[in-house]
Structure 1
Amino acid sequence: MFNPFSAQFRDCDGVHRRDLLKIGVLGGLGLTLPGLFARRAAADQIRTSQDVNCIVIWTRGGTSHHDTFDPKPDAPQSVRGEFGVVDTTVPGVKFTEILPRMARELKRFSVLRSWNPKNGGHGVADQYVLSGRPVNPALIYPTYGSVVSHQKGFKTRMPPFVQLGDNVDRVNGGGTAGYLGQEHNPFEIHANPNADKFAVRDITPPPGVDGARLRRRRGMLETMDALQRQADVRPGAFEAMDQHQKAALNLITAPETKVAFNLGDEDPRLRDRYGRNPFGQSCLLARRLIEAGVRLVTVSDGGWDTHAGNFASLKTNLVPRIDQGFPALLADLEDRGMLDTTLVIWLTDFGRTPKVNSAGGRDHWASAGSIVAAGAGIPGGTVIGRTDEEGGRPTHDEYFTEDVAATIYTKLGIPLELITTTPDGRPIRLNEGRPIREWM
């Protein structure tokens, strides 16, 4: 799990305080959690203009737009590839044949075919697409969930920003809080929600650690802290740590925590509809986390860098789980009356090359790609923009990554003109894009 609070206190002999108290995966009453709650005290100043939540689907590697939502059936074989097309519920709109469910469910979501990613590199994409700001070697821009955490804070005792899976490239700080501070990094869950014994590190107590034992260990930690405070020259640091530990303990003991992570409470038939695979169950878990008070959940899915064997990978492995899980998520949110207040958006690194390479794959393509969005007022059954006859560049209604970010922030009620400040006092404007008008 990614530790959002890398700074650690040591005693005068260089021994970690956490090493003085071993309590299994709880990590010292949540000592791997405290940084996540550094801004808990600011919850009283949460923005209330809109209370829209968000689920970001991130397919790491670059999903081929040709082989999903922007097929070119009239192009040469070297461009159109191996897949045929299927009619959607919108007359005249076709997807590839490996997306039959999404073709039937198009009226619940919208497709942007005219996205220009303006990037073609892994790591670069994770920073750029997940923040809406191009990579800057001197500054890491915050991802969407971190901005939401910074601006809106806690809704319940659940963390505002959660990432499911570890398929976000951190080489350029992608998917992190950047200059906003580590306390706004995502709380990451790497455990497989499709596993029979799904448990979340730092949340689920290990066998044998009940409430009474947890309270005893908390008392031991408080005793050691009191002794260490007497000799420490930084009492403010201990006071801050106390606040974060209390927030962490609140999360561990909160009723909504137990409810959110207990997928066994769900009707098995509903779990089947999502798909009994990590992606499908992650989508289901994302819905439960939103219900429990998380503001933004990133569902990360890997393996989409299809330089070789593109068609077999998409058809047999990658696309079926999305084609099942994504429509199931939208239908479930709608059935529960949550779709109007939950933005669901599927993002990826970039598009892939119009021409199939010699290895039966497609390479990185920086000039065109597709994005899917639903909920929060997104008009379902719409397809925005067009690309040329080879799917190489947008020809109508071109939008950029900055515009996608502007749309996300506007839907979430965060002003685009917002000015945040770096640790050295530099003012930074949140966004330089324009909302996608067809989605507003």
Structure 2
Amino acid sequence: MIPQEIIRRKRDGDELDPADIRSFIAALAAGQLSEGQIGAFAMAVWFKGMSREEIVALTLAMADSGDRLQWTDIDRPIADKHSTGGVGDNVSLMLAPIAAACGLAVPMISGRGLGHTGGTLDKLESIPGYRITPDADLFHKVVKQVGCAIIGQTGALAPADGRLYAVRDVTATVDSIPLITASILSKKLAAGLQTLVLDVKVGNGAFMADRAQAEILAQSLVEVANGAGVRTSALITDMNQPLADAAGNAVEMRNCLDFLAGGKADTRLEAVVLAFAAEMLVKSGIAASSEDGEGMARRALSSGKAAEVFARMVSMLGGPADLLENPGRYLARAPVEKPVLAARSGWLAACDARGIGVSVIDLGGGRRHPADRIDHRVGFSELLSLGTRVTAGEPIALVHAANDAAAERAAAALAAHYRITEDSPKLTPVISSRI
């Protein structure tokens, strides 16, 4: 295999043979390619694209570049969900235990915050003692005994993706649909999944602000995953406002515990969680229809079974056994809490969801640089949904900050992120389509 020949052929728009793709990715994983060669390959793909067959080959080659998890001793369907990222999106925290309570095994390998979006691992790290990188034996044990485990990616899973992504990040090739598809799915294939559901977000708080582009990405992910042997579907969901009524780390964890206790009924967040639970159950053959699946998920919540699964997962992964009973003992609160007041009376008609995510970072709840330490205490809670009528001076959110000055800045920024109008707005459905 001559790397520059593969790069040249892709640069010229040729379709690459699967064997050449496998050889190139094997060399990448083995450290035999220069960053220049990796960057040139990524740029060629960015400009010329890839056929569906090429993307499948790339995905499989990246998945095979490291370990593949095996679940042969678990007598449950192996399922997972992936989100393309949003603000106030803590769906995974509740979805995994709900799905497990309904009979699925969910080995959920999650990530940290990326850009303005929050990361599931950062939220879990607000729980004292929680091990986001357990060894393989403990990960397997938790999935087998509890039904789910939410952890971070190890270097042994799809290592080629890690090196390719690091180069993409500094060569303006992150937003290539073939490369996004292979990056997401290679890790899911390496996790040994049988079924997968995808949450492709669209709106001003998503990486895909354009609906047409979101649909193209969703179609690519679904077709490639199915082509690689994993039964997959996708829902396109709205990210023109935070999904939960909180944005941050510990604040979203408290929101999760409230949800599992039944405190977030009839919200946009509940609609998304239940829809994905139903999709997972139908895809895995446990539920006959979406209605049946949603009914099973609701019963898992109302019975307390999902909360019990979550508590056992946290405890087995090193967190406190009584987190659900005593969250205030473990989830640190910021020293300053300041209400954000409506500037005028009217309807909350629109917001800059991305701006809200950036404001969390400004508070210290996210990273500007990979080595930055996160303040898990900070963020926003009690965020009112769009379509709510407010009176001037009424709180529309609560800021959690490390000091008074930071609270003042965040409150002013958040107020500026919302638009209040005299007329009731027409809102986008939280779930717009299924692919």
TM-score normalised by length of structure 1: 0.29
Q: Determine which structure has more spread, i.e. the larger CA radius of gyration.
A: 1
Higher helix share: 2
TM-score (norm 2): 0.29
Larger RCO: 1 or 2 (CA < 8 Å, sep 6+)? 1
